[in-house]
Structure 1
């Protein structure tokens, strides 16, 4: 979330990619530092090691790509903000080593174009747009029905670029290494467009989408740091702090789980009252009447109802219909908010009469506040009923606790992006999956509009299944 916006801003310009191998090489030199100390250099809590499985599959694909035999897109999981760094490590560090070991000759630099969310430059700063441009990035506005500039450039690079392209088909981080969010259909559509462009140009390259899984584990389970984080959340929610005693460590999973349930209940109760009282929403007060419903089932039901209410509050302001899943609704709200803040309809904000400029600033400030409801929902779209119970690992406890921290910190702070606490050194695991041929599905796609829609849907589902199989 960017700093609180008080004034209308000029429209968001498209940032064309200008790949610069010098910038790529410089980033490669900086990579070990970026992986370990990405946000807070004084805290030793980044990624200490990256393990890669099946890298030779990707090396062979690069060899065929450089020989003009195939085109391919890497569709990678996106659980955390560190994923692009891990992908950069895979291509710049692991691939050259594997290629040498396997006797695979590759041209340098071994790199890729990539698609990134245009909003990242708003949260981090304009310098990021310059940097991503020189690394070969293409910005896309996620909520825009058809971002002509972004889509056209991505399509052209997929078919004609000198490097493959990388995309996170989930569209945004979900904070869960063990859950793949619903995929956006854009990756599958890009694949079919690439085949279409090659057919029109009389070219015979085969088109592939390569699923790539990314997961994170702690080198040492951070149980004590988790105790500290839960204590902080308990204090923030007005609960009595319940630090775990040394004698209770043998039962830590159950104790931590109960503490998380109490924190979640307190947070939901507070937010339900907030929307009930100040936004006049009809949210029932929590009363347990069915003994067959477990506590976590009840919490998930309340959470889903709260998320729907938060989105409705924002949608009512922007005049939007409540259609699609939570992710679809979030993207539409983001684009609606940006249209009120980044005014493409006004050529020169500084030339406006004071009255009109004041009204534009008013609209921008209110739109920014309304978008905070959507940001609340973004943090919890992947939360499920049994995520911790299925596998009560330190990683899953940490992921859930950190999502709650994100929401509480954002509510507490109106002026800056809250920095997450670092719980310990992490290991990143990257797994390259089996390539999915888009060319083989071309006959199903080209029949008519309905068959094209079905082909995109089926390819999207198959890609989702492939990414799920890469979770260990």
Structure 2
């Protein structure tokens, strides 16, 4: 049974940034120990850091306004970015003999939901580190207004993840949300109105994780755990032979082929169980795997099709309850559902919960519990928005095997009502942070401000260019 929010809560308030240099210095001092004890990261390296050093110098001398857009494959990313700014940039500045003022830091945008599951301390800490809370599922006017103001007038640059959330894939980037591009154009607009000459740039930053030593044994153990929980046994020798014969790349090792067969079997078993779950108990009509209509589909393609149909059904279950239309991308639908659930749990129409009668409180609690349950379906979908069914097959690296297996662990753990954020660590990792080429927003201003249609198209084009730039940083 999933863990539920069973009681109505007061309105979800905006958490304003209250940057405190003392808190920052303490956290930067503690950072190496936090990375060592809270993550599986052994080493963090930077490529093209001199580009970021140069931009910080331009920012501090009043030549540019800067927002950094980073890839967000892992929950460890904040540790890596903090290390980049606290250690790698100062080291690069000293090496280049570039004088930079302290602190070398950035205001950052974070999901308002993080303090809900991590605890109130997270909101307090993020605020003191200069964080700006954003509600992802609605137009958060106060959060956006604060980010816009700091982008134009803040003493620190901004940093944000244009994907909006982690997707668990080191080599797949989710479709970007347009917020960073829009913030860029708003910043240019505000600078023009103020008669200021700074240029506005977006800097793409790539983050990739690699295992120091390939943890094949730990992966095998995790797969065995998942197979046990799912009620299936490991792949047999005949299954292993079948994968080796059918796979187009003869360079696969016996271990890779065997793990791939087990991963497929586990995925197929879980998918079948979930299809039955939504068909039987939520009365969803699932389109069966395409056979007669498109017999050329491979097993992987049929699996991917079934998965997408299942994800759509899970979202429909929640959307039907909240009265929402199924429109937009899967990510768009998840964001709207999250906000609809929050609206039922964190009631803005009830300012003083203590003024409710016991009967009114009971009804409000029932609505909150039901909304929490319906959001559970959306949470299942969130973990699988970037799953293609081809990821491991195309490139059977330990990283891709691990990422896919850990996504299955997330799903199985959430279904059991356990903590999905307590992911197991398979082994020590090293991190590569790659600084990309800055994208000028100011150079696109004339096109943006021509008319409403061109403004919308300019945001779309800039978002797509940023997506392409981040994809180019995957090594």
Common fold: TM-score over 0.5:
yes
Retained in 2: the 8 A contact 1:24–1:135?
yes
Match of 1:455 in 2: 458
Aligned counterparts, 1:88-99, within 5 A: 88-99=82-93
Cα 1:413–1:46 shift into 2, 3 Å: same
Question: What does the per-residue CA deviation read over 1:176-199, in whole Å, with 9 as the maximum and x for residues that have no partner?
Answer: 010111000000000000000000
Match of 1:26 in 2: 26
Match of 1:166 in 2: 159
Which of 420, 425, 429 in structure 2 is aligned with 1:422?
425
Q: How many residues align?
A: 463
1:339 to partner: Cα distance: 0.1
Match of 2:247 in 1: none
Which of 152, 164, 169 in structure 2 is aligned with 1:176?
169
Match of 1:201 in 2: 194
Unpaired runs of 5+ in structure 1?
39-44
Retained in 2: the 8 A contact 1:23–1:134?
yes
Q: Distance in 1 between matches of 2:458 and 2:329?
A: 21
Match of 2:229 in 1: 236
Which of 80, 95, 99 in structure 2 is aligned with 1:101?
95
Residue 397 (structure 2) pairs with residue 393 (structure 1):
yes
Q: Distance in 2 between matches of 1:268 and 1:21?
A: 49
Match of 1:82 in 2: 76
Q: Distance in 1 between matches of 2:469 and 2:50?
A: 18
Q: Distance in 2 between matches of 1:327 and 1:19?
A: 31
Q: Distance in 2 between matches of 1:417 and 1:389?
A: 26
Match of 1:466 in 2: 469
Match of 1:131 in 2: 125
More displaced 10-residue stretch of structure 1: 45-54 or 115-124? 45-54
Which of 265, 269, 286 in structure 2 is aligned with 1:266?
269
Question: What does the per-residue CA deviation read over 1:334-364, in whole Å, with 9 as the maximum and x for residues that have no partner?
Answer: 0000000001110111110111110000000
Match of 1:252 in 2: 255
Match of 2:344 in 1: 340
Retained in 1: the 8 A contact 2:289–2:305?
no
**Alignment RMSD, CA only?**
1.8
Residue 429 (structure 2) pairs with residue 436 (structure 1):
no
Cα 1:379–1:430 shift into 2, 3 Å: same
Match of 1:53 in 2: 47
1:151 to partner: Cα distance: 0.1
Residue 56 (structure 2) pairs with residue 62 (structure 1):
yes
1:4 to partner: Cα distance: 2.0
Q: Distance in 2 between matches of 1:273 and 1:389?
A: 27
Retained in 2: the 8 A contact 1:178–1:471?
yes
Retained in 2: the 8 A contact 1:228–1:243?
no
TM-score, length basis structure 1 = 0.95
Which of 388, 403, 412 in structure 1 is aligned with 2:407?
403
Question: What does the per-residue CA deviation read over 1:371-392, in whole Å, with 9 as the maximum and x for residues that have no partner?
Answer: 0000000000011132112211
Unpaired runs of 5+ in structure 2?
242-251
TM-score, length basis structure 2 = 0.95
Residue 108 (structure 2) pairs with residue 114 (structure 1):
yes
Residue 19 (structure 2) pairs with residue 16 (structure 1):
no
Retained in 2: the 8 A contact 1:2–1:123?
no
More displaced 10-residue stretch of structure 1: 114-123 or 22-31? 22-31
1:293 to partner: Cα distance: 2.1
Retained in 2: the 8 A contact 1:227–1:243?
no
Secondary structure, counterpart of 2:92 in structure 1: helix
Q: Distance in 2 between matches of 1:190 and 1:63?
A: 22
Residue 331 (structure 2) pairs with residue 327 (structure 1):
yes
Retained in 1: the 8 A contact 2:86–2:105?
yes
Q: Distance in 2 between matches of 1:418 and 1:69?
A: 41
Which of 372, 377, 395 in structure 2 is aligned with 1:373?
377
Retained in 2: the 8 A contact 1:47–1:426?
yes
Secondary structure, counterpart of 1:210 in structure 2: strand
Retained in 2: the 8 A contact 1:410–1:418?
no
